[in-house]
Structure 1
Amino acid sequence: MPVISVPQDFNEDDLYIDLESIFGRSLFLKCEGFNFAGSIKLKAAIEMVETAERDGVLTPDSILVESSSGNLGVALSMIAASKGYRFLCVTDSRCNLTTRLMMEALGSQVHVIAGQEANGSFLGARIDYLRTLCASDSRYVWLSQYTNPGNWKAHYRRTAPEIAHRFPELDTLFVGAGTTGTLMGCARFFREWHRPVRIIAVDSVGSVSFGGEAGRRMIPGLGMSIRPPLLDESFVDEVIRVEERDTIRACHRLARRGFLFGGSTGTVVSGAMGWLAEHGGDGRTAVAIAPDLGERYLDTVYQTNWLHGLYGDDVLGPEPANTESWVLPTSPPPAPSPGGRRPHLRAGERAGRRRHRRKSGGEP
């Protein structure tokens, strides 16, 4: 068990889940959410902050600023608190409430952009705000995850070698595409590796990262409303686009087996399983990267009213047959008798307190 003095010194980077028992196809899911920032964004945050410090861009008087839909903002909040920097995160209304509260609990300021572009994107408004802010005061230091090479170098130096060490016979790697830092770092590493690895980018429908029309995207994490400046498609073998409804179903299917993951993970898993079903997975060593866990999505991806309001009442599909519910009694149980023993329940009362199995068919 490590002993640390700063939170960024801890990251569990060698945990994988074999999803075959859940989805029927072998896929090893690399879990990146077990650190104090709760996501893979910790790696990029460390790389960008430490590079800015070495280059003399970031000084004790600096105020860190960044645009983030959530996870990078939390990672930078944690590092800023640890190192004594002030930090301002510029986000938008899609950022989960829990994520905003976490940043504020760590001492950061959060500015929520209200305006959006004609295509429904908030990113342009966030970037415009940051540019204006930085022009107003030289103390503001914008790391710019969208253009900063430290974003992909973190995964070239850490994430990809971790996978290569654990799976020396790797054939296929599925990586979610947001800023494309993780994608580009891993793709560059495996391009130089001793054996060919098929790199498959997983994007959200409505994202324009790889072309196509912009559309509504309500789950933060993956996808962009502009072409990512870090992206070099020559390193990518294939692109899969996943509907948000399929993202949600994958998240809930994992949760029913005890694994609570975030929306980005649901997107990657859904896309990977669809690809493996089409191309066959027998004998193939396939790995997918899970960027974060699901606690920050409890009021969105795992909240029934939010889901039904945006995606319709049938978003989860029919409930699987092995889902159980416990029927609560309609009235309080009888009080104990004066002797301390609870009165004997009649047959009807016993029936009301039994556990019942709900019968229905199909998968989510």
Structure 2
Amino acid sequence: MKVISTPQEFNQDDLYVDLGAITGQRLFLKCEGFNFAGSVKLKAAAAMVEAAERDGLLTADSVLVESSSGNLGVALSMIAAAKGLRFVCVTDSRCNLQTRLLMEALGSQVVVVTDPSPTGGLLGARIDHVRALCASDDRYVWLNQYTNPNNQLAHYRSTAPAIARAFPDLDVLFVGAGTTGTLMGCARFFRAWHRPVRVVAVDTEGSATFGQAPGRRMIPGLGAAMRPPLLDTSFVDDVVHVGERDTIRTCHRLARHGFVFGGSTGTVVSGATRWLARQERPLTAVAIAPDLGERYLETVYQTNWVQDLYGDDVLEPRTAGVASPSA
């Protein structure tokens, strides 16, 4: 029996889904959504808050502030509530309504930015707003997930070692690229591991993280309008870009088999399936699923929303059986 006194004490770190029957590839999905914050971002949030407390940056009068597309905001809302701290989340119009309502239910203030920055898009506008808040009152404490080393350290110390223990014969790891904290923490760990593991970053089309021109992105989570400061491409062996239409198709395909995951997971699974289909021999592969799908019911899983944005032909017929990998 496990008994906890704060929500951040619980995180199921040892659950994998065998996607072989769904994707036609030897692919295991590490589920990071089974905690009270509902996503992998709990690890980074806890690590950054603990470091700020340890360094004396957080006091009883402090007001936490962070830019987030959703999941980190929920994780920080939960931790702030548990610690009796105030928290302001600066997000943008792509953030799911359910995510915003959840943060508010936890007592956080949510600021929604709607006008993109001329150079940094909505992300740049969010960061500008955070900086303006911090300049207006020294009680604001910005953890800055985009540059905070504890973002990646959390995954270097927990996520990657957990995968290594579960899959000592691992050949390739697929990680979605957002702030790149999860990606870089895992990549740095496996670069120093006792056997070679290829680390493949999965990004969304329209993201500028790996040098592509920024474009429209409607699904929050992965991607960025500017290169994340934490990213060091020398630790990344390959990059796969996935269009949002393929993300949606993959989410719905997984749901037809009883697994409702978030948009980021759909992107990662789609990219991993396509990458594995090009390999000459079977590999032991793990992909990280950042969250579950309940917060996407009004977007990714809502037929009208999908068809309005991506067209009537996006959703596949409800057929059973093994899905063919994307071309």
CA distance in 1: counterparts of 2:281 and 2:19, whole angstroms: 12
CA distance in 1: counterparts of 2:270 and 2:118, whole angstroms: 29
What corresponds to 1:237 in structure 2? 237
Residue 289 (1) aligns with residue 288 (2): yes
Q: How many corresponding residue pairs? A: 325
What corresponds to 1:128 in structure 2? 128
CA distance in 2: counterparts of 1:194 and 1:84, whole angstroms: 43
1:13-52 maps to which residues of 2 (within 5 A)? 13-52=13-52
Q: Which amino acid aligns with 1:95?
A: C
Q: Which amino acid aligns with 2:319?
A: A
Q: CA RMSD in A?
A: 1.5
Q: Once the 2 structures are TM-superposed, how far is the Cα of residue 362 of structure 1 from its aligned partner?
A: 8.8
SS at match of 1:182: helix
Q: Which amino acid aligns with 2:60?
A: P
What corresponds to 1:253 in structure 2? 253
Q: Once the 2 structures are TM-superposed, how far is the Cα of residue 363 of structure 1 from its aligned partner?
A: 9.4
Q: Which amino acid aligns with 1:321?
A: T
Q: Once the 2 structures are TM-superposed, how far is the Cα of residue 121 of structure 1 from its aligned partner?
A: 2.3
Q: Deviations over 1:301-342 (max 9, x none)?
A: 00011001100000113x14349xxxxxxxxxxxxxxxxxxx
Q: Once the 2 structures are TM-superposed, how far is the Cα of residue 60 of structure 1 from its aligned partner?
A: 1.0
What corresponds to 2:313 in structure 1? 314
1:77-88 maps to which residues of 2 (within 5 A)? 77-88=77-88
Q: Once the 2 structures are TM-superposed, how far is the Cα of residue 31 of structure 1 from its aligned partner?
A: 0.1
Identity %: 73
The structure that has the greater radius of gyration is 1
1:344-359 maps to which residues of 2 (within 5 A)? none
CA distance in 1: counterparts of 2:278 and 2:191, whole angstroms: 24
CA distance in 2: counterparts of 1:84 and 1:266, whole angstroms: 35
Q: Which amino acid aligns with 1:229?
A: P
Going from structure 1 to structure 2, the CA distance change for 1:281 and 1:179 (only over 3 Å counts) comes to farther
Using structure 1 for the length normalisation, give the TM-score: 0.87
SS at match of 1:122: helix
Q: Which amino acid aligns with 1:291?
A: P
SS at match of 1:159: helix
Q: Which amino acid aligns with 1:152?
A: Q
Q: Is the 8 A contact 1:70 1:91 kept in 2?
A: yes
- Mark the runs of 5 or more structure 1 residues left unpaired by the alignment: 324-360
CA distance in 2: counterparts of 1:233 and 1:178, whole angstroms: 14
Q: Which amino acid aligns with 1:168?
A: P
Q: Which amino acid aligns with 1:285?
A: T
CA distance in 1: counterparts of 2:9 and 2:244, whole angstroms: 34
SS at match of 2:175: strand
SS at match of 2:155: helix
Q: Is the 8 A contact 1:43 1:155 kept in 2?
A: yes
Q: Once the 2 structures are TM-superposed, how far is the Cα of residue 133 of structure 1 from its aligned partner?
A: 0.6
Going from structure 1 to structure 2, the CA distance change for 1:192 and 1:105 (only over 3 Å counts) comes to same
Q: Which amino acid aligns with 1:56?
A: G
Q: Once the 2 structures are TM-superposed, how far is the Cα of residue 26 of structure 1 from its aligned partner?
A: 1.0
Q: Once the 2 structures are TM-superposed, how far is the Cα of residue 11 of structure 1 from its aligned partner?
A: 0.3
Q: Which amino acid aligns with 1:176?
A: G
What corresponds to 1:348 in structure 2? none
Q: Which amino acid aligns with 2:44?
A: A
Q: Which amino acid aligns with 1:179?
A: T
Going from structure 1 to structure 2, the CA distance change for 1:116 and 1:273 (only over 3 Å counts) comes to same
CA distance in 2: counterparts of 1:362 and 1:13, whole angstroms: 30
Residue 152 (1) aligns with residue 155 (2): no
CA distance in 2: counterparts of 1:280 and 1:287, whole angstroms: 18
Residue 173 (1) aligns with residue 147 (2): no
Larger RCO, structures 1/2 (Cα 8 Å, 6+ apart): 2
Q: Is the 8 A contact 1:321 1:362 kept in 2?
A: no
